[in-house]
Structure 1
Amino acid sequence: MEYRFPQRGWLVDFINKFGELGGFDKILNRFISSETKLTISVVIALLKPWGLCYEYLTQSTIEKYFARIIEFVPLFLNQLTENDFKVEVKTESKNDSLSAVIKWLRYLASRLPNSDRACRDLDELRLKMILRLLQTNSFSGKMNALNEVHKLLPSLTPIHRSTLNRSDDSEGLTPEKFIQWIQEHQILDIVLRDCLHQPQYVEKLERILRFMIKEQALSRNDLAKIWNASCGKHEAIEKNVHDLLAKLAWDFSPEQLEQLFDCFRESWTKASKKQREKLLELIRRLAEDDKEGLMANKVLELLWNISHDKLFPNEIIDQALAAHLKILDYSCLPEKEKTKLSWIDRMMEEVKQDQHVIISLKQMREICTQFSDHAYMHNMSRISYPLNRISLIDRLEDKHKITRVITENLCHYMENTRNCREETKKILPPEDYYPDGRFNHNQQINERLVFLKFILKEGRMNLCFDFTKMLWITLAEQPVYPSDREQCFRWFAEIIDEVGFDFKTGKDFFQNHFMKLEPHLLTDLGMNCFDRFFKSVNAQLNKFLPKRRSMRLI
């Protein structure tokens, strides 16, 4: 801009006048003289003006006066004691003065002929000073070091190097050399050692890790170190590290992402209840912020696998399944409905294969409730509205014959239980018999019946005669435990009240099966069920006439 030209003119005049009055001689003498002690503050004061206006100094001036200073100052900085560093950190905590001195020296050195070696030595000195600051016990010192790294990273980009450094400076600091410095001096171990409870510190650390990821230099071992830095630590550290990983995960390679999920799986078994909640929160964040579905699908897979692990207690399984549902419901999946349907299909296949049946049924029921229960007009196009619950259950019935699958699965379970009881000759109470190691006998029956009632009720379907007969025979006529028959009575009574039977099924079943059950087997629940069937069938036959508030049998 035009206003800069007069300013530049004054600056040149000032520099020339300073030289005429012997100013450069006095600066050089102050550095090389042993009469008065040199301090960091003095070095900063003497070098700052010339580091900022190095472009206006002639090459001869730099060679005559500053070449020796460029050689002297690194020796001076290398001789600084630990106490000197502590004082420096305390007095110049916000100015990053040490790094500024080295930067100014490098600017001046870049004007010298054959300056590659000098610039390279100053780059190494800069890294050495950063390392010494990181190794101090002072939080300010560590922050100064990370701030200096932040200033250093942009200079490692090809564009920055080509514009600010000499084009022939092939020996200068490169991304490869910086990564090598990080690895050789175990910088990651140092920065992860403490201060992770400070959010601003972790924020600075994030920039370094992003650079390592960009350069494909973040190893499996490095990622493990980051994860382990939070394990068993204070809640603030755990939160900060989890936040850090949640941000970095979007830049991870598939291998790094897989390792992160391995860390999730490993920590899950060792974590306390509160730690598992924090872990689930992190896992959910990864999925819920996912706009493309890649992370969400990977998280869903992880949680589903956790729910199938036999080593985990039910409490962990329930937490994993709850997180699985929340991701399906609240995530930014581009095809959320399609994803839900694919998971329901997958769970149905597990039921058909008699694998993890109870978990699959419970999860399917919850996923189904995420679909709207509002019915749509028949003349509306399917494309114009999302799939509702009734349509979903119709789809499951058409594609999987879901009522048949659940009925046959329950009958198959009861048959296996009878066979097992006959073979072992060992009779355990139903509440103590865990055929799959996770859900007892009563739960095995109840969850299947609950799911079947849900499908019938929400799908507005009636159970056909054949399936009604199969359930009655396996539970009421051939129970393994008396409680099986009790569950059967309770379920049929609920079906009559909440779902109903078609006329022919209800009549045939009541006459040919219920009425033929031995009277002594009718408990209170049995009599209640009989009462409901009796009234339902006779009402359908118009044998009941309403009279005021009661029913009169004709």
Structure 2
Amino acid sequence: NPAGRAMSSSAPASTVGSSSSNIVDHLQRPNTFDVKTSPSAHAELNAVANERSKVWEDFTELPSGMLSRLFDQLHRTRWVVPVLPNQELEGLMEVAIVLIKRGTDKTSKFFEGFLEKGLQVAFDKLMNDEAMKDWKIEIHRFIWLSVARFFIMFTEKMRRTLEAEDFHPAYWKILQYAMSSNSRFHMQNFGRKADFLQLEFDSNELMLYTSINTVEEVHQRVLQLWLLLLLSYFGKIGGFTLMRNFLERNVNETTKITDFIDWLRPFASCSLLLKPAVITETFGPTIQVAVARLEHIDDKELKCEIVKSDLNESPYVELAKVLQSLVLVNPEMIHLGRQMQFFSLRYILRVLQVAPFAGRIAALEELHVVLHNAASEFRQQELVISMNDLTEWLRKQHLIEILVRDNLHHPAYCERLERVFRVLLERNAITVEDMDILWNVQREKHDVIQRNVHDLIAKLVNGLNNVLQEHLFERMKESWANSSSRQRTLLLDLIRRIGVDFSSLTEKELTIRSLSLLWDLFHDERLPVEMIDAALEAHFNVLESAVPAEELRRLYIERCIDELLLDSVFVLPALKHMQRLMTLMPECDYSTGRKITRAEYIATVQQDTELCSRLSKNVALYMEKVRNAVNEKPHVYAVIENANDLVFVGRYTHSDNLRIRLSFLHFLLSDGQLWLMTPQANELWDALIVRSVFEYERTYGFQLFGTMQDQEDIDPKALDQLFTSRILKLPVEMLNEEGFSCFKTFWTAVNKKHSKLFQPTEGMSHYLMCDFDLEVSEHVI
């Protein structure tokens, strides 16, 4: 590649190669460029504007050979923009200025192609190429001079004509490239001083057109000084005055939206660097016409129905943003900025209602940007609407109803919806009424919509304030009463998720609310057993993940014991739940830090509440209810032989009532390393065996006592008394196979205790007699 050119891959060297031929025979290109410091303020710029163009005055058309070389260099894979003095770009621009001054540019057969395929492409590459950081400073300087030369070309065109149709769209596009403060060229030279341009300048002239207000500020503020100098030069050569005249001639109530954008966008892109008075004088009347035009556009003209993916592709949105950029720097025009921001929001809400799905997604994302920007201290752009005013306006436009009206079956939509809600919640912009709208939208909807709404609520719940959280839990409780089994299952999953996902110490209140609601929900006598179990399963999941959990688990164990004391219809699920909660404690302490074991925990509960005693009393109480029921309706129960078919209390069978109560008792004794004391042993023996109603209870009782004795769960001090006062006094006709097995277990235990039988090896089924005078041998014989 020739040196001395702006290239896509690397910075050019400071020499000119031989590949670029001479522009005219009598003008020889120097072998090296030698930039001299200008002795006066704008000497070199004046040379660009006046002296240098005289070399090209004899041209009546753009040189075709030079134009072909430029096109070839611009469209190579490794493109080249020849920006050095006397190279193709400078030469063609100088000839173009000559043609414009003569007014022959409109009749030139190459001029339109030069603008569209040459100059516009060249400036796009010069101002925005990624490889710019590798270019040498000399190239940056000549790019700057090329921009200044284009300003001359542009202003000369305006001096020649102010008719809008005489301006090729490329003029406005190149002007935007040149003035955009966000272009790579201006960002690359963001902090460079004017010294690098090898130019002298008058600080006072900068203050006429730019945001610099004092001479001292010029030397203190070096940020974007290169662009400030360009804007000052544009004003010095009459650019702003000509632009004002152009707009006065062409702007009216019928001006196209796209024309407003083309004419205003270049200056909006650098508005923060311009003096507010310049903006007002140059663009003020045009801005007012454009704002009025947008304000009076009806929904039909907005054509939101065809928005597909990017809202910024809409000329209405783009014009609103352009106008905002121009007015925000001027306090006198702030009210117009408010109107434009509200117009943008109106457009977003309209898209949310009528656009295809992709358009609605884009609208949600744009709405989130607007809200986030309004709520953030570090804004991406200035706002003239406070967050309070913004949310109040959105509420009057029924924002929440619009957001949740459709598309809730799409996870992508709900994901973006969450971001919008979260910003609103952060600013306390969600009311109780808004929560009602969100909650009610799932009514009688498809399962997918209900799940997505629940998922949205679960993600947002930690952002709700106390009032909203309390209201949400009230709504969930209300919904439970009138919901189907499927809906209740979904609701339980939501409550469980809230309790589990936000179970940390800092969000403990949500865990407490979830646990309390789940506890209340299962206390419904009309609920099927399966739904009660599901509610307690969710309750267990929350307690299982709670941090810290000991206090909460103990609280609900005590509530389970309360159910036992009240002998409520929820005794059985409460006992099952209590057992599961106790299993959360570790069986052994394997950690270095001392933690209470399961046995110690159960022993503590037993010591504090006398749980075993209360449980045995409850078993006896239940059996009394069974006897009373059978006595009242003997003919009904006489024909029922299977205990699984008998139901005396609530919705649990007779076998379940005994199995759950006695299994829990066995769990307490074994895992808690407790003994069944004499009063409780006697009470259970009498209730299950002596006063049994059906043979089922006796059989179950024999099996239970035999197992407890085998596992040494009965207090050794109670063994003799239980054996003599209960087992030996049981009428023999009440014994069945399990009864005899139970008798054998106790008889063996009593004789072992008195050292009359000896078991040689633990686990062997036979014993050795140590004494012929065995205890109660007459009963065995």
TM range (shorter): 0.7 to 0.9
Pairing 1:354-369 to 2, within 5 Å after superposition: 354-355=567-568, 356-369=570-583
Q: Map of 1:43-54 to 2, 5 A cutoff?
A: 43-54=260-271
Amino acid at match of 1:118: L
Q: Which moved more, 1:515-524 or 1:393-402?
A: 515-524
CA distance in 1, matches of 2:415, 2:765: 73
Partner of 1:521: 734
> Once the two structures are superposed, what CA deviation does each residue of 1:189-209 show, in whole Å capped at 9, x if it has no partner?
111111223344333323432
Report the counterpart of residue 461 of structure 2 in structure 1: 249
* Number of matched pairs: 537
Q: Is the 8 A contact 2:349 2:402 kept in 1?
A: no
Root-mean-square deviation (CA, aligned residues, Å) is 3.3
- Offset at residue 278 of structure 1 (A): 4.3
Cα displacement string for residues 183-239 of structure 1 (whole angstroms, at most 9, x for unaligned residues): 222121111111223344333323432344344442333212212334454555444
Matched, 1:452 2:641: no
**Partner residue in 1 for 2:173:** none
| Correspondence 1:398 to 2:613 | no
Tell me if 1:196 matches 2:414.
no
Q: 1:128 aligns with which of 343, 346, 350?
A: 346
The one-letter code sitting in structure 2 at the alignment partner of 1:254 is: N
Aligned to 1:295: 510
SS in 2 for 1:22: helix
Deviation at 1:51, TM superposition (A): 1.7
Q: Which residue of 2 aligns with 1:374?
A: 588
Matched, 1:67 2:284: yes
Query: Residue 388 of structure 1 corresponds to which residue in structure 2?
Result: 597
- 2:590, 2:344 → 1: CA distance? 70
Aligned equivalents of 1:496, 1:362: Cα separation in 2: 24
> 1:399 offset after TM fit, Å?
0.8
Unaligned runs of 5+ in 1: 166-171
CA distance in 1, matches of 2:530, 2:326: 66
The DSSP-based 3-state class of the residue aligned with 2:307 is helix
Q: Which amino acid aligns with 1:371?
A: M
The aligned counterpart of 2:436 is: 224
Alignment match of 1:535 (pick from 748, 755, 760): 748
Structure 1 stretch displaced more, 191-200 or 444-453:
191-200
CA displacement at 1:472 relative to structure 2: 1.0
User: Conserved in 2, the CA contact under 8 Å of 1:361 and 1:448?
Assistant: yes
1:466 aligns with 2:679: yes
Question: Deviation at 1:426?
Answer: 6.7
Deviation digits for residues 164-184 of structure 1 (CA, Å, limit 9, x no counterpart): 46xxxxxx5333332332222
Q: Which residue of 1 aligns with 2:527?
A: 312
2:231 matches 1:11: yes
Give the match for residue 55 of structure 1: 272
Matched residue, 1:341: 554
Distance verdict in 2 for CA 1:45–1:531, change over 3 Å: farther
Normalising to structure 2: TM-score of the pair?
A: 0.62
Which ranges of structure 2 fall in alignment gaps of 5 or more residues? 1-189, 193-223, 773-781
Match of 2:625 among 413, 416, 425: 416
Asked whether 1:486 is paired with 2:706, we answer no
Aligned equivalents of 1:258 and 1:226: distance in 2?
15
The alpha-carbon distance between structure 1 residues 120 and 464, as it changes in their structure 2 partners (threshold 3 A), is closer
Output the CA distance in 2 between the equivalents of 1:287 and 1:471.
Answer: 39
The 1:20–1:223 alpha-carbon spacing in structure 2 relative to 1, beyond 3 Å, is closer
Retained in 2: the 8 A contact 1:389–1:459?
yes
In structure 1, the residue corresponding to 2:560 is in which secondary structure? helix
Query: Please, which moves more after superposition, 243-252 or 428-437?
Result: 428-437
Q: CA deviation at 1:361?
A: 1.4
Please show how residues 504-519 of structure 1 align to structure 2 within 5 Å.
Answer: 504-519=717-732
2:322 to 104, 107, 121: 104
**1:329 Cα deviation after fit:** 1.7
The answer to whether the Cα contact below 8 Å between 1:503 and 1:537 also exists between their aligned partners in 2 is no
1:260 equivalent among 449, 469, 472: 472
Q: State the partner residue of 1:169.
A: none
Detail structure 1 runs of 4+ shifted over 6 Å in the superposition.
Answer: none
Indicate conservation of the 8 Å contact 1:59/1:112, yes or no: yes
Residue 82 (structure 1) shift: 3.3
Instruction: State the Cα distance separating 1:9 from its structure 2 match.
Output: 1.3
Give the residue type in structure 1 aligned to 2:461. A
Alpha-carbon distance in structure 2 between the residues aligned to 1:50 and 1:217: 36
Q: Secondary structure at the match of 1:261?
A: helix
Distance 1:159 1:552, change over 3 A: closer
Change (3 A) 1:81 1:389: closer
| CA distances 1:135-186 after superposition (whole Å, capped 9, x unpaired) | 223223323433332333245459579x946xxxxxx533333233222221
Secondary structure at 1:290 match in 2: coil
CA contact (8 A) 2:291 2:336 kept: no
The structure with the largest helix share of the pair is 1
CA contact (8 A) 2:689 2:697 kept: yes
| Structure 2: distance between partners of 1:9 and 1:508 | 109
Shift of 1:119: 3.3
Aligned to 1:439: 652
- 1-structure distance, mates of 2:407, 2:341: 27
CA separation in 2, counterparts of 1:435 and 1:252? 46
